[in-house]
Structures are given as structure tokens and as C-alpha cells.
Amino acid sequence: MELDYPLDREAKPRVLVGFKPSPEGANDPLLQVVSDLYQRWLADARAWEQLRAVWEQQKEGLLPAFARFVGKLSEKAAKLVPILGELGGTAIKESLEGLVTASEDLRSGQLSVPRLEYSQAKELVGPVQKIAGQRIA
Amino acid sequence: MDQWEETPNLDQQRNTFRDFLRNPEQWSSCHILLGAREGGKAAELLHDLEAEYPGGVYVHTLGEMDLVDGIEQRRMISYLRAQPQLHALENVPDGRVLELVGGYPGVIYRWTAEDARGTARILDGLEQLVEDANEFRYRDLEELLRNLGGDGRKLAARIALVPLVEAADTWRALRPIILTNLDPNALDDLKLSNVLDKGVEVPSFGHTTRRDAARSFLGRRRTEAIRAEAEYLIPALARAVIALDASAISFGEALRGLRDTAAQYNLGSLPLALCEMARTLFGERPSSFECVIEGTQQAIRSREAGLGFILAAGLFNTLIHAKAEDDLAHRDTLLDELRALARSYPDDAVVRDWLAGGLYNTLIDTKAEDDLARRDTLLDELRALARSHPDDAVVRDRMARGLFNTLIHTKAEDDLARRDTLLDELHALARSYPDDAAVRELLLMLHNS
């Protein structure tokens, strides 16, 4: 999308962007967008430090989905130093997927591929906005 | 989110956006931008959302490039004249160049595409590309595809059939299946010959209109290749769906995407059923219950190996859809097919477990349907299944739940003798499997009730 670049790089104040084209047939575009948002945000070392500080200081008070995600990511980060770049992207993606898989237990009856729920998206995106202090698109 | 029109199950997506729109105060600094092609269901849904949430949703229609400003005109002309591929524009006046582009970026994309290098050498070629761009035709690509043979043609057909490979993560998962039994150089060859985009690691035809053109050409002119590759891909992808976790999602998505091809090329009841069953993994209803039933019968007759998970999961999910629609005749037929499948795959614990799930669900339903004799028969069937497979914890769990629910029912039915017998049976089960926490938990619930 043409708007991707100017929002991410040129807008003042800067806007945090989560973007994904939807290749035909992809199941969960919302998860892909949230994953891309985190990858772009945490590509900045300062953002990663901010996130780690929030995790260490407010672990008990974090929203459940956000806490589970950051917990998983922190475990991976301990093994992947530094967290930036391709390895970081994989760790973020796997942590989010783990979160979505966990929601499967809440479903009744039907056996279906889990998706990122609205409530989880809210719990994941809200803290980014708060910590980064930036608009999100 | 771009190309939103290509997302499956748009209604489900629309409902997700409704959740966002119902709570705008929670998203005050967050904007959701969707790109969708005009003229389809996606655009229609977006216009509906705009009407439903005035002030919350705005639909902006993208018009032609805004070239009213002379500076923008000169910028574009300079860019085009600087392209080595577009020497043919050298003596063409600026006004004619603007006329040819006609405010449509697709023209510039086509003029500068790698596969149009030959055509773009002369002005007639550029004019033809303008016409093609406006008609979404890719004559150079068609020529390249027409001349493909052997493994190159097979691979092009597979990529056209599974466009999901354009996503890096999905490509990593699907790569072994897409490249099986092909010349290891086939992918590089398609990129070097400009059939595929050489600028990206994943196999991609490029712009969605180019991909659609490739698929359309192969579908019209290489029917047998498309048919043969679909016949290979469907069972291969179905065999790869062996669990319902992140690793299986790509296979399931790709399989679901082949449903229309299976129907269009009349590939048979089993391939069609496998694609329909993949749809159920994403919460969708299969197009018809008969199709699922016929496909299962075909799999059983032909003793197809490795399809246990997708068939059992598909039948189980379809059974739930049939019950939800109060179509009890189909529900019962689907349960019979699940039983037959379990007999055909006697060593496949997953099939057995989903049969136990189907029996248990139906047992619950029969109480609501006031068919108590059938409820008891189903409980006996669960008992027999658990006896035959004493180490299968899932079957034991379903049987224990069956006992538990029937016990609750008998209490309501004032059949206290039977209630006590069922309670004894649950206690005996707990003694036989002292480490089974699920059984213990059921007993605890009974004692606390």
C-alpha cells in the first residue's frame, strides 16, 4: 500500500505502522498485522529496552494477553541476543502464534484453527500505543 | 491491510471490524486502513460498514493519478524518459506520453516490467502494453507461459494454484510440497526467464493482476497441467494436516484455496471433500454435507493412507454444522461415516478420538431430542470403544463425560437406581486409572453438586 512508507518514515509525529498485504487465502490477517506492528516497533533497540523495563517493573499488572506475549518473547530473547533483526521477527511471530494457539482451549465443540480474538488484539495493541506514545495505523 | 478482497471469509472479518467500531474510544489513536479492489464483495462490505458506522468508517475511492500539477507531470515524464527500457519514448512529445499513461499507474508498471523489455522497444509495443494494461492482459507473460514445458510448466501451475506461497512464512512451510519431484533448478529458471518476479525470494508472479492473468492463461490453455498438479497438490497438502496448530495452518489454508479448482475440474469426490473439510478447520460450513460423506466413502473404498486427521476432523466439524441446522438425518449419516472411518483406520488414534468426540456430542444431543434409548446405545458404544483401547486417554475422557452427563440426566429423570450404578462405574474408572485427573475432577464435581 502506498501509504505504508510515508506513515512509517515521513509522518510527523511518527506513526507506528503494522502492515500486511493479504495474500490470497491467508487465514488471520489481523494476527499478521499485529505481528508486523511489533516487528517494526521492536526493530528499534530503544523500544525493546522500554518493553523490557515495563515487563520487569509491572509484570503483575499487565493485561493478560500482553503479559503472556511479552513473557514468551522474554524467554526467547534470553536465548537470542540481540533480539533485533530476523531472529527477533521470528521470535515475535512465534510468541504471537503461541498466544493464539492457547486460545483454542476456550473454544467449545468445533475443532477449528484459532485466530487472534478482538480482545487479544486490544490487549496487544493498547500497550504499544501507551509505551511508544505514538499513533498507530 | 492491502488486498483485503483476497481474505477468505470476509463476513467474519467484517464482524471483527464491527468489534473495533463498537468501541471507538478504545482505539482513539489507532487507524485501520484497508485496501480493496472496487467492484467486488469486499468493496460492498466496506460501503455497508460506512453506512452502518457514519463518522467511524470512510471509504475513499482511488481515482486516476493526479497529474494536474505541472511539476508532477514533469516528474513523471522525467522518470519515464530515464528508464533505459523506454528508449522508444525518446521522440514522443510529452503530451502524447501523458495521453498514453492516461493517469493509470498500471501502464507505468507494465512499461517497466522485466518481461515487457522486448515489447517496449518500439512505440507500437508501448501502445500495445497500454491496451493490455487497461484490459489486465499480459501478452509477454502469456508467451513465456505458452513456451514452458516439463518441470517449469508443472511448477508454474503449482504456484498459480497456491498463491499463498507469496507470503514468506507460508512459502517456508509449503516449499517441500511445491518442489517435490521437480528439477531443483526449476524455480530459478522461472525467475531468470521473467515468468516469476526475480526481485523477491518467494515464488511470485508479481502484481495481483499479473498473477490472475497467469492463472487465467494456464486455466484456459494448459488445462491438463493444472488438473494434474491440482490432483497432486490436494492429497499432498491433506496428508500434511496432521494437527491443529500453527504448523498445519499453511497446509490447511492452501488446501481450502483449491476447493474451486477441485470443483471446476471435476477432480472427484475425495479431492473435493478434502478441500471442503479444510474449510471446516477455519470455522466455515462445507458447501454440502453429501460432498463430505461421498468423499469419506471414496477414501475408505480406496484405502487412502495418511488422511485420517483431516477426514476425521472434517467429519466431526460437519457433524456439528448438521446438528446446528437441525439436520438430524445428515448428522446421523456423518456419525456413521465417522464410525466407518475409524474401522478403516483402526490404528489411527486421532480418528478414534474424534469418533469418541462425535459419539459424546450426539449423546448430549439425544437427551435434548428426548431419545433416551439412543442415548444409552451411544453410551454403550463409548464404553466399548474405551474397553478396546484402554490406553487411549481421550476416549476414556469422552466415555467418563458420557457417564457423568447420563448420571445427571438420570437424577433429573428420578431413576435413582441407575444413577447409583453409573456413579459406581465412575468410581471404578477412577480406581482403575488413579492418575487420570480428568476422571477425578468429574467425581469431585459430582460430590460438590
Domain boundaries, chain B: 4-52, 70-135, 152-221, 244-340, 346-449
Chain B positions touching A104 (Cβ under 8 A) are 244
Average the pLDDT over B104-118 and give the result.
90
Chain B positions touching A26 (Cβ under 8 A) are 6-8, 164, 167, 170, 253
Q: Do B1 and A112 touch (CB under 8 A)?
A: no
**Residue whose grid cell is 494437527:** B243
Are B186 and B152 a contacting pair, CB within 8 Å? yes
Q: Which residue of B has its CA nearest to A100?
A: B246
**pLDDT for residue A9 is more than 80:** no
Chain B interface mutation, best of A3, A5, A22, highest count of B Cβ atoms under 10 Å: A22
Residue type, B176: P
Q: What b-and-e string marks burial along B40-52, b requiring 16 or more CB atoms within 10 Å of the CB?
A: eebbebbeebeee
Are B307 and B330 a contacting pair, CB within 8 Å? no
Range with the lowest mean pLDDT among A85-89, B89-93, B203-207, B293-297? A85-89
Are B230 and B262 a contacting pair, CB within 8 Å? yes
pLDDT band (50, 70, 90) for residue B368: confident
**pLDDT for residue A119 is more than 90:** no
**pLDDT for residue B361 is more than 80:** yes
pLDDT above 90 covers a percentage of chain B that reads 71
Distance CA A65, CA B334 (A): 37
Residue pLDDT, tens place only, B135-165: 888 999 999 999 999 999 999 999 999 999 9
3-state secondary structure of B388: helix
Q: What is the dihedral of CA B390, B392, B397, B399, to 10 degrees?
A: -50
Q: Which residue of B has its CA nearest to A94?
A: B246
Chain A positions touching B281 (Cβ under 8 A) are 111-113
Are B197 and B190 a contacting pair, CB within 8 Å? no
ipTM of this complex > 0.85?
Answer: no
Q: Length of chain A, please?
A: 137
What cell was used for B342?
475409524
- Is residue B14 left, alpha or beta, with left meaning phi > 0 and alpha meaning psi from -120 to 50? alpha
**pLDDT for residue A103 is more than 50:** no
How many Cα atoms sit within 13 Å of B320 on the Cβ side?
22
Query: Mean pLDDT over all residues of chain A?
Result: 74
Element (H, E) at A136: strand A135-136
Q: Which residues on neighbouring strands pair with residue B54, listed in sequence order?
A: B57
Distance CA B321, CA B288 (A): 10
Q: Do B19 and A111 touch (CB under 8 A)?
A: no
Q: Which pLDDT score, from 0 to 100, does residue A102 have?
A: 44
Chain B positions touching A25 (Cβ under 8 A) are 6, 8, 163-164, 253-254, 256-257
* Environment class of A2 (CB within 10 Å of its CB; exposed 0-12, middle 13-18, buried 19+): exposed
**pLDDT for residue A2 is more than 60:** no
CB atoms within 10 A of CB B231: 16
Average the pLDDT over A27-51 and give the result.
83
Closest-CA distance, A39 to chain B, in angstroms, reads: 14
Q: Which residue of A has its CA nearest to B166?
A: A23
Distance CA B230, CA B158 (A): 7
Average the pLDDT over A95-124 and give the result.
68
Residue A3 contacts B where some CB pair is shorter than 8 Å:
yes
Chain B interface mutation, best of A2, A113, A119, A129, highest count of B Cβ atoms under 10 Å: A113
Distance CA A107, CA B393 (A): 20
**pLDDT for residue B218 is more than 80:** yes
Most confident of B101-110, B292-301, B439-448: B292-301
Q: What is the CA radius of gyration of chain A?
A: 15
CA distances from B355 to B40, B142, B241, B340, B361 (A): 40, 49, 18, 10, 10
pLDDT band (50, 70, 90) for residue A69: confident
CB atoms within 10 A of CB A43: 15
Residue A8 contacts B where some CB pair is shorter than 8 Å:
no
Q: Do B280 and A112 touch (CB under 8 A)?
A: yes
Q: CB-CB: which of B1, B246, B317 is closest to A29?
A: B1
Q: What is the dihedral of CA B22, B26, B32, B38, to 10 degrees?
A: 10
pLDDT band (50, 70, 90) for residue B3: confident
**pLDDT for residue A108 is more than 60:** no
Element (H, E) at A15: strand A15-16
How many Cα atoms sit within 13 Å of A109 on the Cβ side?
15
**Residue whose grid cell is 509449503:** B174
Q: What is the dihedral of CA B86, B91, B96, B101, to 10 degrees?
A: 10
Q: Which pLDDT score, from 0 to 100, does residue A111 have?
A: 64
Query: Mean pLDDT over all residues of chain B?
Result: 92
CA distances from B402 to B226, B417, B438, B446 (A): 48, 17, 13, 14
**Residue whose grid cell is 493479504:** A22
Chain A positions touching B282 (Cβ under 8 A) are 27, 112-113
pLDDT band (50, 70, 90) for residue B252: very high
Phi, psi angle pair for B79, to nearest 5°: -60, -45
Q: Which of B158, B125, B165 is nearest to B143 (CA)?
A: B125
Q: Do A112 and B163 touch (CB under 8 A)?
A: no
Q: Which pLDDT score, from 0 to 100, does residue B101 have?
A: 92
Are B406 and B400 a contacting pair, CB within 8 Å? no
Distance CA B337, CA B215 (A): 36
Most confident of A57-71, B40-54, B263-277, B356-370: B263-277
Chain B positions touching A24 (Cβ under 8 A) are 3, 6, 163-164, 257
DSSP B162: -
Q: Which pLDDT score, from 0 to 100, does residue B345 have?
A: 94
Q: Which pLDDT score, from 0 to 100, does residue A83 have?
A: 46
pLDDT band (50, 70, 90) for residue A48: confident
Output the pTM of the full model.
Answer: 0.79
Q: Which pLDDT score, from 0 to 100, does residue B391 have?
A: 94
Q: Which pLDDT score, from 0 to 100, does residue A105 have?
A: 35
3-state secondary structure of B381: helix
CA distances from B190 to B114, B184, B186, B199 (A): 13, 11, 6, 12
What cell was used for B381?
458404544
Q: Do B29 and A29 touch (CB under 8 A)?
A: no
Q: What is the dihedral of CA B49, B54, B60, B61, to 10 degrees?
A: 60
Q: Do A136 and B281 touch (CB under 8 A)?
A: no
CB atoms within 10 A of CB B214: 24
Distance CA B162, CA B108 (A): 28
Q: Helices B208-221 and B150-161, interaxial angle, to 10°?
A: 120
Compare B329 and A74 and report the one with higher pLDDT: B329
